[in-house]
A and B are shown apart, each in its own frame.
Chain A
Amino acid sequence: DQQVKQNSPSLSVQEGRISILNCDYTNSMFDYFLWYKKYPAEGPTFLISISSIKDKNEDGRFTVFLNKSAKHLSLHIVPSQPGDSAVYFCAASAANTGTASKLTFGTGTRLQVTL
């Protein structure tokens, strides 16, 4: 039962354009969402997060949008840079419940930013 889904395994974007990575979730108890970025042979690194009380959070070139009614979130990267090429994982937690100890991850989207 995949509670966090990233339906696009890969995405290719030209340098300077916008990258949009999508994530859907099924568990209505999730109230905190994060994006992690992973380079080969490295552990995931935290990128940006959003609480369910917000619908948008911005940090530099990265913006996360949350649509609770659709159980959908997206990560926008603009402008995309070659160094953004990595695998991006969406993750969720039920931070205000007894299961706050764990993050549930999606399967990841591999972003390639081309010159």
Chain B
Amino acid sequence: GAGVSQTPSNKVTEKGKYVELRCDPISGHTALYWYRQSLGQGPEFLIYFQGTGAADDSGLPNDRFFAVRPEGSVSTLKIQRTERGDSAVYLCASSSRPGTGIGGELFFGEGSRLTVL
């Protein structure tokens, strides 16, 4: 498709389980971002990839969260030992250029809603 694709759209898991969320960016977009949106809040930055490397992972809340983008296209966000506080919508976005200045507007996917019971 033409837009950012995220799977699964919904994921329900039990506390302590491992979860993977996948993002397929817009073709040709080199920059890829993960954000997390909790109820009643705006999207919160997690990690930014430029190509295959994580250029900025300062938003990852702790070492249970990890993301990869091995071939510079699809990215996977991995959450170990999930906690109830991890429940949120995880948004992926891509951009045609690095940075968020003029021309670097982000295109978001529909998100993956994670519920940890």
Contacts and interface: CB of A to CB of B under 8 A. Distances in A.
A103 interface: yes
B99 A95 contact: yes
A49 B111 contact: no
Contacts of A89: 42-43
Contacts of A101: 33, 48, 50, 55-56, 98-100
Interface stretch (B14-22, B60-68, B72-80, B102-110): B102-110
Interface in B75-114: 91, 93, 98-102, 104-111
Contact of A32 (B91, B101, B107): B101
A11 interface: no
A10 B107 CA distance: 24
Contact of B101 (A45, A91, A96): A96
Given A89-B42, A107-B41, A107-B42, A43 B111 contact: yes
B109 A49 contact: no
Interface in B23-45: 33, 35, 40-45
B70 interface: no
Contacts of A107: 40-42
A108 to B, nearest CB: 6
Interface residues of A, number: 28
Contacts of B42: 4, 6, 89, 91, 105-108
Contacts of A36: 108
B44 A100 contact: no
Contacts of A100: 98-101
A95 B101 contact: yes
Interface of A: 4, 6, 32, 34, 36, 41-46, 49, 51, 89, 91, 93, 95-96, 99-108
26 contacts: A4-B42, A6-B42, A32-B101, A42-B110, A43-B4, A43-B109, A43-B110, A43-B111, A44-B43, A44-B108, A45-B108, A49-B102, A89-B43, A93-B101, A95-B99, A95-B101, A99-B56, A101-B33, A101-B56, A102-B33, A102-B59, A103-B100, A105-B35, A107-B41, A107-B42, A108-B42
